[in-house]
């Protein structure tokens, strides 16, 4: 079978799998962003209980395998009475895992805001919540976005793991095609190109546009 014939026959299935991969990435990214902001702020709390809880969460999810977490959420939680379908288990596991890494990015970005900005907000008699909302957090975006962008690209690539719990994503479809055709080079080569196109020509330009926008907001460009 020529490569053109291969594409003609199997590209619809591969593109359908790529669509599921994109949905996984979007859902996992939304959850990761929420977790990152929540636990990043908790890490800076003056409440020791909140800080301790956030630290335990972050260290647990960063210190254990994403694959094991994925298996736990999909296979073990049903034994405890909580059953999730494969799609939900996939993006929840990835979102919780990458959210732990993102929380440290959020914490570091907030702490990187110049001390003078904190002092100026305090001098204006702003409450801590108003100071964070109006002064500190808007300045963190230009600091936060470059490492967060790298993390989101890694998240996209990590979605390939959900094929192991039967989510019919791009990698799952590629494995099915390879199992019936044994055209490994064509199958996984095409999957490789699709992942690259998604990262390089869809996700990366969007993230770079956000970086430029955030830099303009604080007068860096």
Q: What is the pLDDT of residue 187?
A: 95
Residues 163-191: tens digit of each pLDDT: 999 999 999 999 999 999 999 999 999 99
Q: Residue 157's closest CA among 121, 113, 125, 195?
A: 195
Architecture of domain 3-217: Orthogonal Bundle (1.10)
> pLDDT class for 218, splitting at 50, 70, 90?
low
Report how far residue 34's alpha carbon sits from residue 36's, in angstroms, rounded to the nearest whole number: 5
pLDDT 10s digits, 64-118:
999 999 999 999 999 999 999 999 999 999 999 999 999 999 999 988 888 877 7
Find out whether 170 and 14 touch, Cβ atoms under 8 Å: yes
Residue 56 has pLDDT above 70, yes or no: yes
* Three-state SS at 159: helix
What one-character DSSP code corresponds to residue 221? -
What are the backbone dihedrals phi and psi of residue 141, each rounded to the nearest 5 degrees, phi first?
Answer: -60, -40
Q: Does residue 135 carry a pLDDT above 80?
A: no
pLDDT of residue 141: 82
**Can you give the pTM of this predicted structure?**
0.91
């Amino acid at each position: 079978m020529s490569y053109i014939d291969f594409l003609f026959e199997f590209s619809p299935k591969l593109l359908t799998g790529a669509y599921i991969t994109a949905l996984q990435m979007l859902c996992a990214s939304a959850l990761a962003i929420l977790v990152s902001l929540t636990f990043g702020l908790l890490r800076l709390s003056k409440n020791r209980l909140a800080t301790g809880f956030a630290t335990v969460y972050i260290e647990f999810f960063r210190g254990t395998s994403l694959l094991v977490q994925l298996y736990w959420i999909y296979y073990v939680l049903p034994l405890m009475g909580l059953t999730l379908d494969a799609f939900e288990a996939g993006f929840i596991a990835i979102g919780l895992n990458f959210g732990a890494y993102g929380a440290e990015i959020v914490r570091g970005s907030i702490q990187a805001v110049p001390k003078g900005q904190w002092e100026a907000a305090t001098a204006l008699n702003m409450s801590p919540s108003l100071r964070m909302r109006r002064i500190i957090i808007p300045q963190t975006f230009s600091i936060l976005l470059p490492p967060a962008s790298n993390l989101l690209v890694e998240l996209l690539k990590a979605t390939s793991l959900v094929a192991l719990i039967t989510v019919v994503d791009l990698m799952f479809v590629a494995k099915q095609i390879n199992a019936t055709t044994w055209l490994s080079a064509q199958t996984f080569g095409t999957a490789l190109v699709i992942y690259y196109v998604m990262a390089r020509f869809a996700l990366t330009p969007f993230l770079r546009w956000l970086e430029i926008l955030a830099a303009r907001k604080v007068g860096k460009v």
